[in-house]
Amino acid sequence: MTIYESLVNFKEDNANEWDVKRSCSDGIVRITKTNPNRGKSLLELHFTEEEFIGLFKDEEEEYNNNFLISIAIRGGSSYYGSVFVDDYYGDQEWREGYILRHFDNENSERLQKILKMVGSTLKVSDNNQDEKITKVLDTIYSRGGEDLAYEYAQLYDECLVSGLRDYIYHKVCGVFNDFGIVEVKCAQKYYTTLNIFLRLWDESGISTDLETLEFFKEFIKKNNLEIDEDLWDDYYNYYDHKNFDDVAWQRHVSRYLDSVEEIIEDGDFVEEIGKNIEVLDFLEKNNIETGRYYSFPYEKTFGEYSNKKYVINSIENGKLMINFMNRGDNQKMTMNLENFKTFLYHPELFD
């Protein structure tokens, strides 16, 4: 006997509550209060969150909504890694200095003291100097910056997933109120009467051979209640600071700053940092960035096309670690600032 037939029989006083329960194989429908007028008997509809939200998936959608909805239901990141942003995002945010703006007051004050320890006049309070500050920090402990950027990307991604979950719940909560199905707890518990439920089924024209979940799936589709928008679009709007684990983040920042302070206090590192800052100042004035390939200026190649290129990989103890692409050969070079200036203006001397 199908759940529909069992409910009809109950209404006609040819079945009891246990008959209904036995015929409902997915366990959704329960009759909890029998009225002398059987049609007014109270029905409880019980769903798991995964069952309920899964009803709103558009199985024919062209986006990746089903994937995102599944992740939102689980309330965590994808088994396959990040969902919205990855390690590259974190690296870019670090390089451009935006991550510093997420330091709390205590960690910002510690960072300012660190800058003073290495003789830098940069100000943490000036957002225009954020990128310069991260460059100084990278000359002290570049691996630490990479690790911090990774942690930030992970926490930010988890925050976006939580925001997606909130958005989906906003879309599905209360969706049945206009159909006479009262929401007790979103995505989990609903009340209605037997008459209302059978009327909805009859008027929908949906097959009475279906199970309850299958009926609701078809009912949602017929009434255009599916989530059919592209949930990837404007994903950054899912950000809400209340979903960002700031306690964990500030703990990561504090540990990073601990390591930076230990490195500075260990030996003659302050002198090395001073040399690195001098190099950084020169590179900034000449719009040169680390990790990026550059061709030599046209006038430095005597007006002729040159395939010579260079990239600064890192700065250590005031010296630049460079890859020099010269006629197809990749030469690794180490030079101080004065030699680098000569290299820029007379690359032919390094052939």
- Looking at residue 334, its pLDDT comes to 93
pLDDT tens string 153-170: 999 999 999 999 999 999
Pairwise CA distance, residues 336 & 345, whole Å: 15
Q: Which of 280, 346, 341 is nearest to 316 (CA)?
A: 280
How wide is the angle at C-alpha 216 spanned by C-alphas 210 and 221, nearest 5°? 110
The answer on 252 and 196 residing in a single domain is: no
Query: Tens digit of pLDDT per residue, the chain (351 long)?
Result: 899 999 999 999 998 999 999 999 999 999 988 888 999 999 999 999 999 999 998 877 655 788 888 888 876 555 557 899 999 999 999 999 999 999 999 999 999 999 988 878 899 999 999 999 998 899 888 899 999 999 999 999 999 999 999 999 999 999 999 999 999 999 999 999 999 999 999 999 999 999 999 999 999 999 999 988 889 888 999 999 999 999 999 999 999 999 999 988 876 666 777 788 888 888 888 888 888 888 876 555 444 556 788 999 888 878 899 999 877 788 899 999 999 988 888 877 776
Q: Which of 241, 68, 88 is nearest to 161 (CA)?
A: 68
Q: Using CB atoms within 10 A of its CB, is residue 328 exposed (0-12), middle (13-18) or buried (19+)?
A: exposed
The answer on 89 and 163 residing in a single domain is: yes
What contacts 78, CB < 8 A, 6 or more positions away?
Answer: 67, 71
Name the pTM for this structure.
Answer: 0.77
The answer on 295 and 174 residing in a single domain is: no
End-to-end CA distance of the chain: 88
The answer on 337 and 289 residing in a single domain is: yes
| Cβ(26)–Cβ(182) below 8 Å | no
Q: Which residues pair with 336 in a beta bridge?
A: 319
The answer on 276 and 157 residing in a single domain is: no
The answer on 148 and 38 residing in a single domain is: no
- Does residue 249 lie in a domain region? yes
- Looking at residue 325, its pLDDT comes to 86
The answer on 203 and 97 residing in a single domain is: no
Instruction: Count Cβ neighbours within 10 Å for each residue of 105-132 and write b for 16 or more, e otherwise.
Output: eebbebbbebbebbebebebeeeebbbb
- Looking at residue 55, its pLDDT comes to 93
Q: Using CB atoms within 10 A of its CB, is residue 60 exposed (0-12), middle (13-18) or buried (19+)?
A: exposed
- Give residue 303's domain range: 271-350
**Six token digits for residue 56:** 């709103």
- Does residue 178 lie in a domain region? yes
Pairwise CA distance, residues 323 & 291, whole Å: 10
- Does residue 80 lie in a domain region? no
- Looking at residue 172, its pLDDT comes to 95
- Does residue 79 lie in a domain region? no
| Cβ(240)–Cβ(159) below 8 Å | yes
Q: Where are any strands of DSSP class E within the chain?
A: 29-33, 42-46, 182-185, 189-193, 293-295, 309-316, 319-326, 329-336
- Looking at residue 72, its pLDDT comes to 82
- Looking at residue 88, its pLDDT comes to 93
What contacts 169, CB < 8 A, 6 or more positions away?
Answer: 53, 186, 187
Number of domains in the chain: 3
User: Which one of 209, 230, 251 terminates a domain?
Assistant: 230
